[in-house]
A = this chain, B = another copy of it.
Amino acid sequence: MSLKDIGEFGFIEKISKGCLIRPNHVLKAIGDDAAAFTLEDGAVALVTTDLMVERVHFLRDATTGFNLGYKAMAVNLSDIAAMGGKAREAFVSIAIPRDCPVEFLEDIYQGMKDLAKRHEVNILGGDTTASLADLVINVCVVGSARKENILYRDAAVAGDIVCCAGFLGQSRAGLHLILNRIPADSPELKILKEAHLLPRPCLEEGWFLSHHPGVHAAIDVSDGLSSDLGHIIKESRAGARIDAEKFAVSPALKFFCRKFGLDATELILAGGEDYALIVTVSPEQIDALTRSFENRFHYPLQRIGEITDTQNAIIVFPDKDPRPLSATGWDHFSQE
């Protein structure tokens, strides 16, 4: 089916289905000049937006519509998670090339809707337009949080413990499989591929962490640990010392590294798009926090280092010299 056959309004009608899943507080969903909704009493609105462009962020031939839509939504939900907020409403703008079949577009929205539904997020509007070259998707998500709970990047304090919620390196390993066309023929490799294609935004973890005393700064790992931790220390005017020995290596990543003779630490440092959360926690609260985090989520909050007053970030190893944890220079796979 071509977009020509159903027209813009026919397309909007098609994609509108299944978008409103939490009608409370919604005064107007898709179909007016703007969506209208209330936030809870005393709540702050959080807004994040992310633009994905064909041939820059994805190849249309190399992805399913579902995975593309899922990821476009996931990266925004992860940003709300990193603020300690609750994701609430999403707005999707899409520029559609003439040769893009409606089935692919519906699949994109299905991927968005599946993930949105899982987190009780409404898709409340957006914009659809033509494109003469690339497919472009912009997702904007509005979240809410109480003022006193929001986690900012600039709130890290020297002495804080740097923690990580979620495994690092899995998405990078999954990308390695995809780029090298290695079939995901075992449960472990499937996990890694899925970590790259269908990353899980840590909304529950972000909300939990934002309500626990002693949690200071937070960011999600989208560009890679060194780059994203770099934002925290830059904004907080601090430094960090990361301990390579402390990284939790997931069983799937261990399996992968054994199988392909690769180094887990390098993958952890090189990787991005894990959408794990990095938080900094005051030493007084760290024990209570890690205990109650593990009780709640049944996996450990990793303590991977600490915030220092040095204004730079280094990584220490058990068996080699410490190295600067720079935003570049770690991706040994960047030639792929």
Q: B145 near A142 (CB under 8 angstroms)?
A: no
A5 contacts partner chain B, Cβ-Cβ < 8 Å: no
Contact between chains at B130 and A93 (CB < 8 Å): no
Docked-complex contact A136 and B49, CB < 8 angstroms? no
> By the criterion CB–CB under 8 Å, are A152 and B28 in contact?
yes
| Residues 21-57 (chain A) with a chain B CB within 8 angstroms | 27-28, 31-39, 44-53, 55-57
Pair B46/A138 contact, Cβ less than 8 Å? no
A6 within 8 A of B: no
What is the count of identical protomers in the complex? 2
Could you say which of A33, A91, A94, A154 has the most chain B C-beta atoms within 10 Å of its C-beta?
A33
Please give, as numbers and ranges, the residues of chain B lying within 8 Å of A31 by CB-CB distance. 153, 235
CB distance from A232 to the nearest CB of B (A): 10
Q: Which among A121-129, A164-172, A250-258 touches the partner chain?
A: A121-129
A80 lies within 8 A of chain B by Cβ: yes
A56 to B152, CA, bound (A): 38
Structural contact, B125 and A51, CB atoms closer than 8 A: no
Q: With A and B bound together, what is the CA distance between A36 and B79 in angstroms?
A: 12
* With A28-B150, A34-B79, A134-B132 as contacts: A93 and B50 at CB distance below 8 Å: yes
Contact-size category for A: 35 or more
Contact B34 A93 (CB under 8 A): no
A271 in the interface (beta carbon within 8 A)? no
User: At the interface, yes or no: A270 with Cβ under 8 Å from chain B?
Assistant: no
Interface residue from B49, B57, B147, B152 paired with A91 (Cβ < 8 Å): B49
CA distance A55 to B130 in the complex (A): 10
Whether A125 contacts B47 by the Cβ 8 Å rule is yes
- CB-contact partner of A49 in B39, B127, B153, under 8 A: B127
Q: Mark contacts of A134-152 with chain B using CB atoms, 8 A cut-off: 1 yes-contact digit, 0 otherwise.
A: 1010101111010100101
Question: Which residues of B have CB within 8 Å of A154?
Answer: 32
Across the interface, do B46 and A35 meet the contact criterion of CB distance under 8 Å? Answer: yes
Known contacts A27-B147, A134-B131; A47/B35 CB under 8 A: yes
Instruction: Check B27 against A37 for contact (C-beta < 8 Å).
Output: no
Contact B47 A142 (CB under 8 A): yes
Which residues from B are CB-within-8-Å of A141?
Answer: 34
The yes or no answer to A220 lying at the interface (CB within 8 A) is yes
| Contact for A220 among B33, B79, B83, B127, CB less than 8 A | B33
Within the assembled complex, what's the spacing in Å between the Cα atoms of A52 and B129? 8
A57 adjacent to B145 (CB under 8 Å): no
3 tightest Cβ-Cβ pairs between the two chains A and B = A133-B133, A34-B48, A33-B79
